[in-house]
Amino acid sequence: MGPLLAISRAIDWINSTIGKTVFWLVLFAVLVSAVNAVVRYAFNMSSNAWLELQWYFFGAIFLLCSGYTLLRNEHIRIDVVSSRLSPKTRNWIEIVGGVFFLLPMSIGIMWLSWPIFMNAIVSGEQSSNAGGLIRWPARLMIPIGFFLLSLQGVSELIKRVAVMRGLIPDPYEKKDAVLPITPLTE
């Protein structure tokens, strides 16, 4: 299990590094949006390329951070139900969900999106909008994003099995921190 945990740590590092780097695309998306709005209203000029670039950034943020979101345990789940289950049951649900739902879905989308990307790059696909951008960079984000999500799914499975075997503490166990109550002072 030691080599698998080393692989898990490497995957976690990759997704953490990519996630923290991609955060900067939020700033770029906001700047592109702001500059586009100022130019449009101040100079009565606009370009579809700027709008599409903004959407490319949003798509890249969503797709490239999906593995990071799973790493941080911020993905969607039904906490009202999950919180009432035992840790062992939650771990089994994570393992079954990862093996039978997450990995097949993410690998399938990655696999099926690759030919679409290749077709876009070979054909030189462009946006149908006047002044629009080439499409292959946006199409490439889909297989890359789902590859990163698949990798993180494998890492999470390794960690879940290690937790179930008692080899590592549960990295997502909520620590009940009691904050000291201090009186308000004037």
Computed over every residue of the chain, the mean pLDDT equals: 87
Phi and psi torsions of 118, nearest 5°? -60, -40
Does the residue 51 lie in any domain?
yes
| Residue 171 maps to a domain | no
Asked whether residue 179 is domain-assigned, the answer is no
- Provide the pLDDT for residue 179: 46
Rounded Cα distance between 109 and 107, Å, is 6
* pLDDT tens digits, 96-143: 999 999 999 999 999 999 999 999 999 988 888 877 788 899 999 999
The tally of domains found in the chain comes to 1
Band (177; pLDDT cuts 50, 70, 90): very low
Q: Considering the domain boundaries, does residue 136 fall inside one? A: yes
Residue 183 scores a pLDDT above 60? no
Report the candidate in 75, 80, 81, 79 with the shortest Cα–Cα distance to residue 98: 75
**Residue 181 counted as domain residue:** no
In a domain, 184, yes or no: no
Distances from the Cα of 122 to the Cαs of 49, 125, 186, in angstroms? 21, 8, 70
CA dihedral (63, 68, 71, 75) positive or negative: negative
Model confidence at 148: pLDDT above 90: yes
Q: In which domain, by residue range, is 110 found?
A: 2-164
**pLDDT tens across 44-87, in order?**
887 788 888 888 999 999 999 999 999 998 877 666 777 788 88
